Chain A
Amino acid sequence: MSWLLVYPIVIPLLTAVLTYILRHNPAGRWISVAGTLALLLTSVMLLASVIREGVIAAQMSDWNAPFGITLVADYLSAVMVVITAITGLATVVYCLGEIPERLERSGFFALLQVLLMGVCGAFVTGDLFNLYVWFEVMLISSFGLLVMGGSREQLDGGVKYVTLNLVSTIMFLSGVGILYGITGTLNMADLHAAVREVENTGLLTTVAVMFLVAFGVKAALFPLFFWLPASYHTPPVAVSAIFAGLLTKVGVYALIRVFTLIFDQDVGYTHTLMLWMAVATMVMGVLGAAAMNDFRRILSFHIVSQIGYMILGLALFTPLGLLGAVFYLVHHIIVKANLFFIAGVAKRIGGSTDLSKLGGLYANAPVLAFLFLIPAFSLAGFPPLSGFWAKFLIVKAALDAQMWIVAGVALAVGLLTVFSMTKIWGAAFWPDHPEGTKPRLSDIPVFERLAMMLPVGALALLTCVIGLFPEPFVTFAETAAGQLLDPTDYISTVLGVQP
């Protein structure tokens, strides 16, 4: 059995335990950094091994599939684990500069590691009920991170986040229950064949829509997204960043996995529904962002809008569409987390995230202004940054499917994204600070400045690399999309591997 599949779950768990024990000790935070580095290292090894050998699987506790729990990694899972580790590392380093000792003492870093464990677990599991369990791990740690500190805004946003996500969880669980009732299995590879033998296809489509709603809440799809802009701007910036980067993407990943591997028998209904949900998500998100006047709240609405593009790729259900969805997923996590980090630095030196109380960042912190432009332009889809290729692939897929309106909406939403980004630029960077202060990066102590700027620089560099050399990434996403559309390898590996 391949231990590489177990590391992404075990390493964050051990790190969480150690950092919790050492939460009163300054060493705790460094263990957190070291643990996340180890996670990155092993996840890259996992990716290398998947590229070398194809899909790999491992049976837990010596039970053969489909009876036991299988961990499995194909191209998509492996790259998602790597990107989780990258975002996790960037966040942990950023936390060194932002998180006050008060939060550290109540176990902040330990919760962050539990979150990473939940996310990685959701990406590598091959069992539907196990996926539910990982969702819960992720959810309970995100609840904690969101309200830690206990300010009025946090509690207000936290209540909405918690209550609505619990509904989605219950929906997911009842979908799992009914699916088990009609097929008798919960192993995803086994389900692929099992759903084809179900005679009552109407019931199956109903279950499919239950999963669409459950994961749609997690992924913040229209009309289920409203918990996200209500809560994502309230916690510490580092928490916003990792939530923005990873949590909704787990929902997108789950949608991609379930709607390619299991529910692809009634594409005409489910995927058409998804298509229009995706279009509405793009439009609503970007319009919401245009109405906002706060750095982080604009970014929160943009998460919603960008989710629409990914789901659009899935809903088109063509090789190019899925290719675009996978590429978009990777690009978006990096860019979005980075924009939140920058919002955090702007808040630190400018004193607020409210655009009417910010200013003077271009004149006094030109490095930050330059670093803002990279992810901002990438988000809007300017060449030669990563966002251009991501949008290009999705729009091309829509045009190839002769969905002219959909392609037009996708392009118009890109234009409105530029509008929001220039709004941030025009309020926070361009004019003088309203109170006449000069927000300089050198106001932050050296160590904290380094901890906050290092992740921003690294992620911006990654955005440029993907943008300038898209070829290997597109080829990779192409293979990932191929595996999703033709899961023969996935199924034979899962069902064929002996413990």
Chain B
Amino acid sequence: MELLLAVTTGILTAVAVYLMLSKNLLRYLWGLVLLSNAVNFVIFLGGRLTPGAPPLIDEGEYAPVGEVANALPQALVLTAIVISFGLMAFALALIYRTYMTIGTVTSTEMRIAEPRPRKSESDE
């Protein structure tokens, strides 16, 4: 199971990096989405995959009885999913707005904030 998840993480990362190398911002964003999911796997694997009971504590006890699953990575992954969902939604809206305003999502054509320096007289 660990091996399967590790390989999946690797494939996700590879696909994500391929997409992020694109000039198209939308492809870049899909790459980011995949990459953030790959990271969720990393955290999940970091907590070790243990087949066990749900980490619930019986009434009157102070610790769970027997072997239970590690709840912390799941909590971390849940937080990370929520946060990355919000960020990706924002980034998608931003790219859409940029497309409507500037008219392009090709990163090499976006030179408005940093225009190429004006040619001096001697160059012309």
Could you tell me if A133 and B83 are in contact, using CB atoms closer than 8 angstroms? yes
Of A31-39, A175-183, A276-284, A425-433, the one with at least 4 CB within 8 A of chain B = A175-183
Which residues from chain B contact A14 at a C-beta distance below 8 Å? none
B7 in contact (CB, < 8 A): no
Could you tell me if B46 and A166 are in contact, using CB atoms closer than 8 angstroms? no
Q: Select B95's contact among A159, A179, A180, A293, beta carbons within 8 Å.
A: A159
Residues on A lying within 8 angstroms of B by beta carbon are: 129, 133, 136, 139-140, 143, 147, 150, 152-160, 162-163, 166-167, 169-170, 173-174, 176-182, 229-231, 233-234, 291, 293
B21 in contact (CB, < 8 A): no
Could you tell me if A155 and B43 are in contact, using CB atoms closer than 8 angstroms? no
Could you tell me if B94 and A159 are in contact, using CB atoms closer than 8 angstroms? yes
Give the distance in Å from the alpha carbon of A136 to the alpha carbon of B36 in the complex. 14
Give the distance in Å from the alpha carbon of A166 to the alpha carbon of B45 in the complex. 22
Which residues from chain A contact B28 at a C-beta distance below 8 Å? 163
Which residues from chain B contact A167 at a C-beta distance below 8 Å? 20, 32, 35
Of B52-60, B61-69, B84-92, the one with at least 4 CB within 8 A of chain A = B84-92
Residues on B lying within 8 angstroms of A by beta carbon are: 20, 25, 28-29, 32, 35-36, 38-39, 42-43, 45-48, 72-73, 76, 79-80, 83, 86-87, 90-91, 94-95, 97-98, 101-102, 107, 110-114, 117
Could you tell me if B98 and A156 are in contact, using CB atoms closer than 8 angstroms? yes
Give the distance in Å from the alpha carbon of A169 to the alpha carbon of B90 in the complex. 15
Give the distance in Å from the alpha carbon of A365 to the alpha carbon of B41 in the complex. 59
User: Smallest Cβ distance from A212 to chain B, in angstroms?
Assistant: 17
User: Smallest Cβ distance from A352 to chain B, in angstroms?
Assistant: 14
Could you tell me if B90 and A233 are in contact, using CB atoms closer than 8 angstroms? no
14 CB < 8 A contacts A-B: A133-B83, A143-B94, A150-B101, A153-B113, A155-B97, A156-B98, A156-B113, A162-B91, A162-B94, A167-B32, A174-B39, A174-B43, A180-B73, A230-B113
Could you tell me if A133 and B73 are in contact, using CB atoms closer than 8 angstroms? no
User: Smallest Cβ distance from B77 to chain A, in angstroms?
Assistant: 9
The 9 closest A-B pairs by CB, nearest first: A181-B46, A177-B43, A157-B113, A156-B112, A177-B42, A156-B113, A177-B46, A174-B39, A155-B98
